[in-house]
Amino acid sequence: MDIIELIYPLPDQQDLLTQAFKKEQTVQAAIEESEILRRYPELDIATMVVGIFGKKTKMTQILRANDRIEIYRPLIADPKEVRKRKAAQGKKLKKGGAKL
């Protein structure tokens, strides 16, 4: 029997489940059959973003043996904004220069 992995990363740990899957099973069906929704009731299958091995995918994607479904958490901060803020701080520090 073929298996898949389902992973949900939390800030301080990762929850990794291994389960058998049926031929022609979709990502959504695998998530619904797993324990993950019962373990984490805050997850909403209608809005969750998922991927397989780091590549974003649709819930209708058909699974293959040894696929790893990843459930992505929403970002707390926009990465572009964080980079802009850090770059602006770096420019300010460089302008004044440190006196040795």
β-bridge pairing 14-20 and 55-57: unpaired
DSSP for residue 37: H
> For the whole prediction, is pTM greater than 0.95?
no
14 pLDDT higher than 50: yes
> What are the chain's domains?
3-96 (3.10.20.30)
98 pLDDT higher than 70: no
Range name among 18-22, 23-27, 73-77 with the lowest pLDDT average: 73-77
Which of 48, 11, 8 has its CA nearest to residue 28?
48
Per-residue model confidence as pLDDT tens digits over 46-82? 999 999 999 999 999 999 999 999 999 876 767 787 7
Distances (CA, A) of 57 to 6, 70, 87, 92: 14, 10, 32, 41
21 pLDDT higher than 80: yes
93 pLDDT higher than 50: no
25 close to 89: Cβ distance less than 8 angstroms: no
